[in-house]
A and B are shown apart, each in its own frame.
Chain A
């Protein structure tokens, strides 16, 4: 009986750690990663090496990085239910936050000031996107076909957006097999 109680308590504390991090870090997934890292490593729940290993897996999957990372970390800490509790902790604050803030903005959307403010935020988002692009491109290890593939992808998608998935998968596979030096599974 005490065993069950302490197990439930551990799950709740995992839930609470992720809930707190997710609720307090504004600015998307990339801002959350250092917060998760410090929290879990300081509490000695996981080693630095394990953390970065899971982070690289989280990055290579589709989906928000912080969400993917919470599933992997939760599972590492307490198995299946750990993953469930950690990922719920991550998803609950943004879920309610967006509904509240968006309804506040919409209730005042006739105001000239709110509209100008929104235009300013939109411009900042464009600046932020160019920064994200810069960071990603800075970290690529370039080879001969990267740049041509990049331009090929851009031109293709500007002409036809409905092929996004196809173009993305082709670029990843072509580059992967080029770097690996052929297909030899």
Chain B
């Protein structure tokens, strides 16, 4: 229990940029420490996509629920959110004495976040390239292009892609 709470405390403290940065990290830690199988990870990822809320929070809630029931769900969610709560609170208290150049700082955070999101992408998608899974690669590229070119809600791509997989893969 303590181990899992510590993991979420750690993940919470580096989840910049809306959670996508740490999905890969959650996957690698949970699978390598045998908390989840790859299939279970896929289940949680999909459930997180089709329910409201930030993805990292969804994952924390679900993993807590799976191992320690309702109380576990509350605790893992709370520990994931504890670092942002502490940091926002201390920011609000120290606001006047912090002299950061905001635009540089946000730009630097974006760079750091880009690295973490790339790692998430690598962790989730490298298997398609290694296994030379042409169908999956085409689907990924098609969804990427549609997301860039249109303003369709991502939820349709997720559910649509699920149905395409039933028919084609």
Contact = CB atoms under 8 A, between A and B. Distances in A.
Interface of A: 22-31, 56-57, 59-68, 71-72, 75, 90-91, 93-95, 97-102, 105-106, 109, 113, 115-134, 136-137, 139-141, 146, 149-150, 153-154, 157-158, 161, 164-165, 167-169, 171-173, 175-176, 179-180, 185
A167 B19 contact: no
Interface string B72-84: 0100010001011
A123 B109 contact: no
Contacts of B158: 121, 124-125, 128
B88 to A, nearest CB: 5
Nearest to B145: A127
Interface centre among B102, B140, B143, B165 (most CB of A within 10 A): B165
B119 A59 contact: no
B107 interface: yes
Contact of B46 (A31, A68, A118, A176): A118
B111 interface: yes
A88 to B, nearest CB: 11
A29 B81 CA distance: 14
B22 to A, nearest CB: 9
Contact of A119 (B12, B108, B169): B169
Given A102-B47, A120-B162, A128-B147, A175 B122 contact: no
Contacts of A29: 18-19, 54
Contacts of B49: 27, 121, 124-125, 128
17 contacts: A24-B52, A28-B19, A62-B83, A66-B18, A97-B53, A98-B47, A101-B51, A102-B44, A118-B42, A124-B157, A128-B147, A129-B117, A130-B140, A131-B144, A132-B18, A140-B111, A157-B119
